[in-house]
Structure 1
């Protein structure tokens, strides 16, 4: 009997097919890395050979609009039409910059946050050969690994820096990003940004990051894809002497007037109107008015700020406003805010120790550092318990008198709130404040103006306390406060006239 050959033939066919399938996977992977991703190969990309780092770049002919990369080994790589369209767009942009004198073929150039390197490619294509890009992940030979907020270059290295595709506004460390550009750019060198800052507020926030630069040109252009259909192109020049940009700068002089408040006043005009007449039922009217509030982040882009801070002055418990309102309802544009809870009443201190992202200041916000009295009032019909605990009012020791006072009196430490604010935040930070301080707002707000600290606050939610009608006792006003509704209205009006976006709070 002759031996059968069926089983070896079957195994041979299976092995052949497996081998062909493996070759197909390798070729497909290589084609993806080169053709789709537009990157050179390396071992980590599951490739067995890589492109040479020295390439000659040409735009391929033909009507398809393909872009070719030629190496010294005659390897041609054609990339996607989207990548080609981006290269053509940036080539046009850079040619215009050359025509205007901001860029030259001799410029040592850097493109920041460019994962694909099409802007670097465009620079080389128009003759700016000494060009390199940086991104978190390298894409050789066009882009090397590097972070915008910690660039791997020496001081005064580049003549020209470009940041496209909204790189700065996407950065979580915009101030460090700007600082690194200032460090690595030569004096009198040019930096060009493509950003989305089309509203006046965000435009000035952007400019505040570059006080040692001068704005030489800005205009709006059409983008090349749906991610940025409209682009604001800004050209800045680094100054020798650190002169600020030609737009108005922040000024925290002793008068408290901010020289940049003009553009903020435009925002105030878009805010919800103040309630002109004293409401007969303030606990209803003011609560309803919250639905009409136009929050600042719903009107402008806040991406160009360094830090995001919420200061709750008179915070009481975590659930009073931080947990119940700010963290749930305030539009944050996906930014992470650090919260400062300022609360003198020790009853509420313990719960803050368990909350992340919150710094408790267990003192009373005041106009100077001194010991104060803390009076806990009990409204008629109010039950004395932690959640329903009466509101505390602070007074200087010399003016405090407990005679006839039906409530609790404690000694607490007050601190200079305006001075603390100036030492904690800067004009490059986005600062939201809620203030509910039982009448002390008539002391704190003037102090903020006096010191110029008011210029650091972007948005205020202020509860103003006056001798309002009481819910418990129809026809009777609260005996706790001496101010009138008209005085409160004057306080709100003064803030808005000064360019501070303030809202009537409850």
Structure 2
């Protein structure tokens, strides 16, 4: 109520506050995502004291909050926010929430505001008379914004020379990774999503790495596990916050076959999954030779991504798809879906040196390390924060 008292003290006699707990006559019971006033009520609105960053974050909180500001603010009215958006990523994430309705008219940094918020950013927006239609590109392509490209320049260096012992070098490289969420504030996002493409078992990377090690800034992520191998499906039924997509990520919706073609010395372990190898459309499966084949369903991963997440979500992706990355990544660019992903952990499959057999390369993959390096480099040059995974 102190902000309300201050406003009334300077002559804004009809100022009123909103809080979960009412304190009549200054504060009315309500929430930021459900403001208890009619449309076009206010000439001026204010939110501060870290309320946005520190409030509980149910799904769609940020989008609901921005929509409520738009609904209750009069046309050409102003809304001011005090937030901890001190880096360009968090600032743009916050501003993006209001792109559909408002223009930024003022940004001001305030130092030594108080002990709880020693550095705050004051952002003032003005409501336009009608909602702004988001620009659409008929060819589906997109351009990664400059503030995201800046984070790529801060990422760890790529391993340019092919490792002689990739099973050691790439695994050790994980310690060098500069996670996006360790470099920027991710508070001002609508939802938090982790997509594991080629998830295998829950413990393979979701349970053992993402949920235990990825820095989440106390945000709750919903997990999508994309895994076509039926061996792993049953265990996902008991995992909370995880949605299983029991299909293969592909460039279109169609039936596929995948090949199980092990490296020399690789043994088949009962109950541990077969390890999906290369996939091809069913009608083209004559190109496989010597491996076990199984029919599976593939889906257009890029279109699914566009229908599942938005630019206001924070999206982390891990991709381990046995060589299909050379099909999926170009498709993400072609459709513009690549701009929906904030961070990618990509295992690129090539004819690597074998641990079992010195001097021999893997016969499973035709791509070279240079082609993998080119894929990583092209992603980063396009502004996509990608890390070499193992």
TM-score where L is the length of structure 1: 0.74
Equivalent pairs, count: 384
1:165 aligned onto 2:53: no
Q: Give the deviation of 1:169 after TM superposition.
A: 2.3
Secondary structure of residue in 2 paired with 1:152: coil
Determine the structure 2 residue equivalent to 1:187.
Answer: 75
- 2:66 aligned partner: 178
Work out which of the residue numbers 30, 51, 55 in structure 2 matches 1:146: 30
* Matched residue, 2:113: 224
Between the aligned partners of 2:81 and 2:263, the Cα distance in structure 1 is 57
1:399: Cα distance to partner? 2.3
Deviations 1:373-421 (A, max 9, x none): 0112222222212336433321112322376413x21111100000000
1:254 and 2:139 equivalent? Answer: yes
Stretches of structure 2 that go unaligned for 5 or more consecutive residues are none
Which residue number in structure 2 is paired with residue 68 of structure 1?
A: none
CA contact (8 A) 2:166 2:353 kept: yes
TM-score normalised to structure 2 length:
0.95
Checking the alignment, whether the CA contact within 8 Å between 1:220 and 1:230 is kept in structure 2 is yes
Q: Distance in 2 between matches of 1:301 and 1:233?
A: 16
State the match for 2:389 in structure 1: 505
For structure 1, the residue ranges without an aligned partner over 5 or more in a row are: 1-116
Q: In the TM superposition, what whole-angstrom CA distance separates every residue of 1:149-169 from its partner, at most 9, and x where no partner exists?
A: 011110000000000112222
Question: Based on CA coordinates, which of the two structures has the bigger radius of gyration?
Answer: 1
Please list the CA deviations of residues 61-118 of structure 1 after superposition, one character each: whole Å capped at 9, or x if unmatched: xxxxxxxxxxxxxxxxxxxxxxxxxxxxxxxxxxxxxxxxxxxxxxxxxxxxxxxx11
Instruction: State the Cα distance separating 1:192 from its structure 2 match.
Output: 0.1
The answer on whether the counterparts of 1:253 and 1:451 sit within 8 Å (CA) in structure 2 is: no
Change in Cα spacing, 1:250 to 1:467, as seen in structure 2 (3 Å) is: farther
SS at match of 1:360: strand
Which of residues 264, 272, 276 in structure 2 aligns to 1:387? 272
Report matched runs for 1:33-52 at 5 Å.
none
1:276 corresponds in structure 2 to 160
Cα separation, partners in 2 of 1:178 and 1:403, compared to 1, 3 Å: closer
What does 1:73-222 correspond to in 2, within 5 Å? Answer: 117-171=1-55, 172=57, 173-211=61-99, 212-222=101-111
Q: Check 1:376–1:252 CA distance in 2 against 1; reply closer, same or farther (3 A cut).
A: farther
Contact 1:168 / 1:177 at 8 angstroms: preserved in 2?
no
2:306 aligns to what?
422
CA displacement at 1:253 relative to structure 2: 5.7
SS in 2 for 1:473: coil
2 CA distance for matches of 1:402 and 1:256?
A: 32
Match of 2:130 among 241, 244, 251: 241
Contact 1:218 1:234 in 2 (8 A): yes
Between the aligned partners of 2:287 and 2:278, the Cα distance in structure 1 is 12
